[in-house]
Amino acid sequence: MRREPLSDDWLRPAVMGIVNVTPDSFSDGGRYASASDAAATARRMLEDGAAIVDVGGESTRPGAADVSQDEELRRILPVLELLEGCPVSIDTSRAGVARRALALGATMVNDVTALRREPELAEVVAEAGARLCLMHMQGEPRTMQEAPHYGDVVSEVASFLEERLAVALAAGVAEERICLDPGFGFGKTADHNLELVRGLDRIVAIGRPVLVGLSRKWTLARVVEGPEARLGTDAASVGAAVAAFDRGASLFRVHDVRSHVEALAVAAAVERGTVTP
Ligand code: HH2
């Protein structure tokens, strides 16, 4: 069931497979014994219909500590070398890591800090003509879940993304290469996350494709299993993805690619009202 790589016009829905090469990611940390193991999983995700795979060497889970740039490179470079010719996004907020990844063929940079950690990342992306995902986060991973607070979460996230989009454009990143992400779980309570899915059309109205990362997140576990649960199931993730698709989301960052590709194909067919894409 092979799908095309992410199209230039961000044809929706498209699925991004998650490949975390970190010892401490919240759902799949320490999963790969070797770079070839991680690369094989990424290739399987592409076979299963992912339009791109997102390779990350630094965990952003709540409470995660920073890793050094050298360590981040040590984790991701061997995987990227094995994925030559595949559609790859690099999940990093460091300019130096992005530069190396783009030189190895990555075509997108997924920056959960939206150019705030290293503003010079914008020039690296602009020079390479790469895609860029700008994500909202309140606070920083180490402390972001301590006391998230908003007056109106949807309009505050939308204003933040508009401001970061303007920063990226001013630095020379082409508008048609940028997508936006409300950052589910990044300095948000479970209710904030649900409100953001419900109000996603406000983020979509900014005018750039919207990426959502809901897969296996804690909010889904809260809904299904209660306050003690930590990890959302794949079925819960698919339900959340379809709800986000119905509100205009374009790109879905997920662990279980095949179930999302199939569910989103049906959701898209319903939206079109015809089997024919
Ligand atoms: N979520 C995570 C990491 N990167 N990038 C974007 N654009 N959107 C997200 O929602 C997002 C992201 C966290 O999830 P995961 O990769 O599973 O875990 P970890 O950060 O611990 O590696």
Domains of the chain (ranges, CATH numbers): 14-272 (3.20.20.20)
- Please name the residue that has the structure tokens 């409100």: 195
Distances 107 to 191, 244, 276 between C-alpha atoms, Å: 34, 25, 29
Q: Whose C-alpha lies nearest to ligand 1, atom 1?
A: 213
Q: What is the pLDDT of residue 27?
A: 63
Q: What is the pLDDT of residue 101?
A: 98
Whether the Cβ atoms of residue 16 and residue 260 lie closer than 8 Å to each other = no
- Average pLDDT of adjacent 10-residue blocks, the chain of 277 residues: 78 96 71 89 97 94 84 96 97 98 98 97 98 95 86 98 98 98 96 98 98 97 90 97 98 98 98 94
Give CA 161 to chain center in angstroms: 15
Residues facing residue 17 across a β-bridge = 53, 254
- 159-190 burial, b at 16+ Cβ within 10 Å, e below that, comes to ebbeebbeebeebebeeebbbbbbbbbbbbbb
Q: What is the pLDDT of residue 1?
A: 45
Pocket test for ligand 1, best of 19, 26, 113, 184 (most atoms within 8 A of CB): 26
Whether the Cβ atoms of residue 268 and residue 245 lie closer than 8 Å to each other = yes
pTM: 0.96
Cα–Cα dist 120/150, whole Å:
29
State the DSSP code for 258.
Answer: H
Pocket test for ligand 1, best of 67, 79, 91 (most atoms within 8 A of CB): 91
Distances 87 to 139, 201, 212, 231 between C-alpha atoms, Å: 31, 28, 18, 28
Q: What is the pLDDT of residue 25?
A: 63
Characterize the bridge pairing of strands 178-181 and 251-254: unpaired
Q: What is the pLDDT of residue 60?
A: 85
Catalytic option among 100, 208, 253, 258: 253
Give CA 222 to chain center in angstroms: 21
Q: Is 253 an annotated catalytic residue?
A: yes
